[in-house]
């Protein structure tokens, strides 16, 4: 804890004054992203929300996978949208993170469920069953061959948990304005986050998005374009910022008063916040 210069320790920000800490694909700095193991680690670290990307399988299941193809995280050829859940369930989604784990005699025995493909429904169950409130930030990926069916399935899943109305612990994010419009029509009470990839897109998006929508700029864009954050705030939109992994990036978010920081390192960020 640092001194405030007046001989007393500075008071760390409280949950009411600091941003919510959101685990990006789980605690993905140290664990294979989007696996149950990564989310369990994030919860153990104290993450207040869990972020995930979702894609639709050929047989209609929402799975937490970022890439359209399987090469990076499952080390095989294949496209998520052309495969059924049973096929994906046979694959190892964790070994790529530590290719030498099988040779480590001191490594703890792993739970196979923690390394397999994770469905959105299972992640919702984990959040719902936790002993404290855990929120979800669900990103729908586009373009996709299934178009609006993705958002429909997301809302159906939220409705199953009673999370399709005001007060829901879940929010839906997307770089697609059209995708968020679909969610707004299907479940008007669910919070929406318009992800912002480039600062130059903001003037057009500002005129399009709803007055209560949140905005999700990348932290590097905020750093590169110092006027962007204040412009978003002046327009009346709260910010959920990705991907915040360093002290410098966190300080920028604190300066801008953002509502949530999405990080690969939830334990580190919580420590920095004095949580």
Provide the angle, in degrees to the nearest 10, between the axes of the packed helices 149-160 and 177-186: 40
CB 85 within 8 A of CB 63: yes
Q: Of these residues, 34, 61, 66, 240, which one is catalytic? A: 66
Name which of 121, 141, 108 is nearest 41 in CA terms: 108
β-bridge mates for residue 242, sequence order: 218, 262
Asked about 24 being catalytic, the answer comes back as: yes
Q: Of these residues, 24, 34, 237, 240, which one is catalytic? A: 24
CB 241 within 8 A of CB 219: yes
Q: Name residues whose C-beta falls within 8 Å of residue 73's C-beta, 6 or more positions apart in sequence.
A: 32, 33, 34, 65, 66, 67, 93, 96
CB 264 within 8 A of CB 243: yes
Name which of 53, 46, 7 is nearest 275 in CA terms: 46
| CA distances in angstroms from 25 to 40, 54, 275, listed in the order given | 11, 11, 21
CA distance 45 to 272: 13
Asked about 225 being catalytic, the answer comes back as: no
CA distance 225 to 110: 44
Q: Annotated catalytic sites, by residue?
A: 24, 66
């Amino acid at each position: 804890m640092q001194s405030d210069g007046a001989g007393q320790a500075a008071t760390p920000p409280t949950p009411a004054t600091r941003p919510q800490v959101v685990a990006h694909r789980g605690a993905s700095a140290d664990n294979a992203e989007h696996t149950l193991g990564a989310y369990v680690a994030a919860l153990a670290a104290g993450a207040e929300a869990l972020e995930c990307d979702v894609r639709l399988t050929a047989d209609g299941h929402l799975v937490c996978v970022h890439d359209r193809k399987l090469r990076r995280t499952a080390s095989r050829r294949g496209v998520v949208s052309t495969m059924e859940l049973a096929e994906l369930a046979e694959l190892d989604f964790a070994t790529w993170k530590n290719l030498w784990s099988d040779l480590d005699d001191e490594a703890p025995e792993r739970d196979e469920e923690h390394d397999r493909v994770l469905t959105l429904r299972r992640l919702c169950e984990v959040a719902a069953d936790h002993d404290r409130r855990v929120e979800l930030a669900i990103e729908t990926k586009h373009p996709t061959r299934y178009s609006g069916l993705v958002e429909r399935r997301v809302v159906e899943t939220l409705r199953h948990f009673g999370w399709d109305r005001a007060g829901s612990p879940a929010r839906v994010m997307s770089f697609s304005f059209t995708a968020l419009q679909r969610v707004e029509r299907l479940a008007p009470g669910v919070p929406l986050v318009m992800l912002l990839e480039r600062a130059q897109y903001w003037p057009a998006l500002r005129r399009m998005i709803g007055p209560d929508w949140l905005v999700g700029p990348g932290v590097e864009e905020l750093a590169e374009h110092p006027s962007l954050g204040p412009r978003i705030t002046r327009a009346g939109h709260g910010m959920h910022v990705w991907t915040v992994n360093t002290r410098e990036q966190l300080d920028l978010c604190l300066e801008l008063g953002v509502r949530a920081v999405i990080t690969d390192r939830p334990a580190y960020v919580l420590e920095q916040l004095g949580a």
